């Protein structure tokens, strides 16, 4: 009985998952960064305040929103630059969505 | 032949029950992190998980083919004994699952299933019945490699997420925006769960159909009704498993930041989806746990709690042989007792299922059964509340303080 192990398959999984993850996470993070640059700092409060959430309290969320507004006012960028940054942000999010859809399509088509 | 038909029906019912418990057990895996960071309301999260599990089950059948056409050598098997052995294997899997649940041990439904099947086949057919090459390359090695892979990827992704959004001027960094992203990535995890876990039950049912000749051995594709039945069962299990999560929410949960949760979920989904495409049957629980640990280590100043990590690892390693042993005992009863053996096994299975049901009715929530193994695995990493500053952040902060001091001095 021969035991054939396809090692290259494991590297395929590692490679595909690594590239996919870094693409999605990297571009999403870049998109957020661009949003911040555009003066639209996302302040997303937890959908529900449960015991589990020690990450951000309601008070902290309000403070964060205030800080975000202040940072946006102080931004040295011109309106045009801000718009550009915002477009870049949405482009980054689009890349993420495309990467996810592409990955799923690859699996379904196969 | 009539008894064989009866046994196949029993196998299908038991396999679907296993599918149900699998979904029931694993809702938390997909939805633990988004609930923990507050990205989704628990009720929404559960609904989403159930729906996407259903969709995921239809996406790929590679994993199902691995089980129905790789691990067990059907060409070595003939006669009516084999369906009864699958039955015994399923009993092994379900019993071990229940036992670990009662004891609060980390375990994996998938490995329990494989262990039970392999154990039962070894006893009933012998060494010839198992294709050890396939077991090694499609089950055992993925089991060892996938969590590490997912952990490594999650580690790198977390580092990347923090690096890209890090600011040196003390202004808001917008990291709470990762909460939006988590809605999508956790959905992706639920989808991936469907492509891997629902497939396992399909594979078992297809294997049973092939061995009694109701399906040609040349085609290992699960039939449509099998796919639909398994998809619906796992979705139902996922949905009903949700109430447990909602009730036990917040107990034994670790602090997960949105950026970290986002990275962990993306890594989990990518690893499972890539493995599903290649037909690797892996444990979604272990992959998700690996990701949570890896992403925890990706945060600055974190350290591994080796004792907790070791306990988790031991639970994982034990699952396959332990479920195999239970499956082997169940198979032994079949081999010795024939039809009566199947009856005895069926009664034992019924007792186990009733026990499981009674246990789930009990409201006792302890730290052991509180959330999920994935959430627990987060405890294996110690993360400080305030991470240490990066050298550049520290320099920037010192510069700001000096500037402030100068301003004060000038004002006086």
pLDDT of residue A52: 42
- Say if residue B161 is exposed, middle or buried (CB neighbours under 10 Å; 0-12, 13-18, 19+): buried
Q: Which of A29, A51, A107 sits opposite B164 (nearest CB)?
A: A29
Under the banding of pLDDT at 50, 70 and 90, the label for residue B367 is: very low
B148 vs B75: which has the higher pLDDT: B148
CB contact under 8 A, B273 and A12: no
Q: Which of A37-51, B116-130, B376-390 has the lowest mean pLDDT?
A: A37-51
Q: What is the pLDDT of residue B160?
A: 92
pLDDT score at B368: 42
Bridge-partner residues for B130, per DSSP?
Answer: B72
The residues near B31 (Cβ < 8 Å, ≥ 6 apart) are B40, B42, B45, B46, B48, B49, B186, B190, B242, B245
Note the pLDDT of residue B376: 62
Tell me which of B75 and B55 has the higher pLDDT.
Answer: B55
Give the gap in angstroms from C-alpha B385 to the nearest C-alpha of chain A. Answer: 10
Suggest the residue from A47, A64, A74, A86 to mutate for an interface test with chain B (most B CBs closer than 10 A).
A47
Residue B354: give the domain boundaries: 2-411
User: Closest-CA residue in chain B for A22?
Assistant: B157
Mean local confidence (pLDDT), A54-74: 70
Determine whether the interchain pair A25/B256 forms a contact, defined as Cβ–Cβ distance below 8 Å: no
Contact B267 A51 (CB under 8 A): no
Q: Which of A3, A17, A47 sits opposite B153 (nearest CB)?
A: A17
Q: What does the DSSP 8-state code read for residue B130? A: B
Q: Which of B164, B184, B195 sits opposite A33 (nearest CB)?
A: B164
**Could you give the angle at the alpha carbon of B76 between the alpha carbons of B72 and B79, nearest 5°?**
100
Flag whether pLDDT at B250 surpasses 60.
Answer: no
Q: Chain B partners of A44 at a C-beta cutoff of 8 Å?
A: 39, 176-177, 179-180, 258
Inter-chain CB proximity B156 and A44 less than 8 Å: no
Q: Give B331 or A28, the one with higher predicted confidence.
A: A28
pLDDT at position B253, please? 47
Check CB contact under 8 Å for B185 and A51: no
B341-353 pLDDT, tens per residue?
778 888 887 887 7
Choose among B203, B8, B195: nearest CA to B113.
Answer: B203
Q: What is the mean pLDDT of residues B165-189?
A: 81
What confidence category does residue B371 fall into, taking pLDDT thresholds of 50, 70 and 90?
Answer: very low
Structure-block tokens of residue A8: 């290259």
Is the C-alpha dihedral spanning B333, B79, B111, B31 positive or negative?
negative
List of chain B residues whose C-beta atoms are within 8 Å of the C-beta of residue A35: 174, 177
What is d(CA A63, CA B129) in angstroms, rounded to the nearest whole number?
Answer: 65
pLDDT category at B85 given cuts 50, 70, 90 is confident
Q: How many domains does chain B have?
A: 1
Taking alpha carbons only, the member of B371, B401, B319, B390 closest to residue B26 is: B371
Give me the residue label for tokens 């009866």.
B6
CB contact under 8 A, B37 and A53: yes
Q: Is the pLDDT of residue B407 over 70?
A: yes
Global pTM value? 0.82
Nearest to A17 among B185, B188, B270 (CB): B270
Count CB pairs under 8 A between chains A and B: 188
Rounded to a whole number of angstroms, the distance from the CA of A82 to the nearest CA of chain B is 16
How high is the pLDDT of residue B245?
A: 57
Q: State the DSSP H helix or E strand holding residue B98, giving kind and residue range, or none if neither.
A: helix B81-103
Spatial CA neighbour of B83 closest among B112, B126, B115, B117: B117
- The total of other beta-carbon atoms located within 10 Å of residue B35's CB is 32
Percent of chain B with pLDDT over 90: 4
* Percent of residues, chain A, with pLDDT higher than 70: 80
Q: How far from chain centre, in Å, is Cα B256? A: 19
Residues 6+ away with beta carbon under 8 Å from A52: B35, B36, B38, B249, B250, B253
Q: What is the rounded average pLDDT of the residues B280-298?
A: 84
Tokens of B42: 């628990």
Which residues, in sequence order, are bridge partners of residue B315? none
| Contact: B165, A54; criterion CB under 8 Å | no
Q: Which helix (H) or strand (E) holds B335?
A: helix B306-337
Which single residue is written with the structure tokens 């915002």? A86
CA distance A17 to B150: 8
Which of B172, B263, B280 to probe by mutation at the A interface, max A CB count within 10 Å?
B172
The interface pTM score, or ipTM, of the predicted complex is 0.82
More confident residue, B250 or B238: B238
**C-alpha to C-alpha distance for B264 and B261, rounded to whole angstroms:** 5
Q: How many helices (H) and strands (E) does chain A have?
A: 3, 0
Which region among A89-93, B82-86, B100-104, B392-396 has the lowest average model confidence (pLDDT)? Answer: B100-104
Comparing CA positions, the residue from B358, B350, B345, B286 lying closest to residue B319 is B286
């Amino acid at each position: 009985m021969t035991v054939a192990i396809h090692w290259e398959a494991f590297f395929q999984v590692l490679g595909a998952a690594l590239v996919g993850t870094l693409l999605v996470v990297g571009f999403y993070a870049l998109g957020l960064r661009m949003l911040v640059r555009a003066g639209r700092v996302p302040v997303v409060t937890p959908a529900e305040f449960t015991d589990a959430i020690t990450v951000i309290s309601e008070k902290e969320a309000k403070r964060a929103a205030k800080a975000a507004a202040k940072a946006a006012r102080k931004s040295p960028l011109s309106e045009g630059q801000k718009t550009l940054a915002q477009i870049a942000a949405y482009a980054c999010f689009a890349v993420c969505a495309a990467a996810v859809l592409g990955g799923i399509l690859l699996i379904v088509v196969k | 032949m009539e008894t064989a038909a009866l046994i196949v029906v029993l196998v299908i019912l038991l396999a679907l029950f296993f599918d149900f418990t699998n979904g029931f057990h694993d809702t938390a895996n997909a939805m633990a992190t988004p609930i923990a960071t507050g990205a989704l309301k628990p009720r929404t999260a559960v609904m989403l998980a159930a729906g996407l599990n259903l969709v995921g089950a239809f996406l790929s059948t590679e994993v199902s083919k691995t089980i129905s056409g790789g691990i067990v050598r059907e060409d070595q098997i003939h006669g009516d004994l084999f369906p009864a052995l699958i039955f015994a294997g399923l009993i092994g899997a379900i019993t071990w699952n229940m036992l670990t649940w009662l004891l609060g041990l980390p375990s994996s439904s998938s490995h329990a299933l494989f262990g039970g099947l392999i154990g039962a086949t070894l006893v009933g057919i012998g060494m010839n019945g198992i294709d050890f090459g396939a077991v090694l390359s499609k089950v055992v090695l993925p089991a060892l490699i996938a969590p590490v892979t997912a952990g490594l990827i999650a580690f790198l992704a977390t580092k990347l997420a923090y690096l890209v959004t890090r600011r040196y001027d003390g202004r808001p960094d917008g990291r709470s925006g990762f909460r939006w992203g988590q809605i999508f990535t956790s959905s992706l995890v639920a989808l991936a769960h469907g492509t891997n876990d629902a497939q396992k039950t399909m594979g078992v049912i297809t294997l049973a159909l092939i061995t009694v000749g109701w399906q040609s051995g040349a085609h290992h594709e699960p039939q449509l009704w099998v796919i639909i039945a398994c998809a619906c069962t796992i979705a139902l299990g996922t949905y009903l498993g949700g109430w447990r999560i909602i009730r036990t929410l917040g107990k034994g949960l670790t602090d997960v930041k949105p950026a970290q949760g986002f990275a962990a979920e993306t890594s989990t989904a990518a690893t499972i989806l890539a493995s599903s495409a290649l037909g690797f049957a892996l444990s979604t629980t272990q992959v998700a746990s690996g990701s949570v640990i890896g992403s925890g280590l990706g945060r600055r100043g974190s350290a591994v709690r080796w004792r907790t990590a070791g306990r988790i690892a031991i639970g994982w390693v034990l699952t396959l042989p332990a479920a195999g042993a239970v499956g082997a005992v169940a198979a032994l009863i079949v081999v010795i007792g024939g039809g009566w053996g199947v009856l005895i096994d069926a009664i034992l299975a019924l007792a186990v299922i009733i026990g499981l049901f009674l246990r789930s009715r009990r409201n006792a929530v302890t730290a052991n059964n509180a959330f999920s193994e994935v959430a627990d695995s987060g405890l294996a990493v110690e993360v400080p509340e305030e991470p240490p500053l990066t050298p550049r952040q520290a320099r920037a902060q010192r510069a700001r303080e000096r500037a402030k001091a100068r301003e004060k001095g000038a004002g006086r």
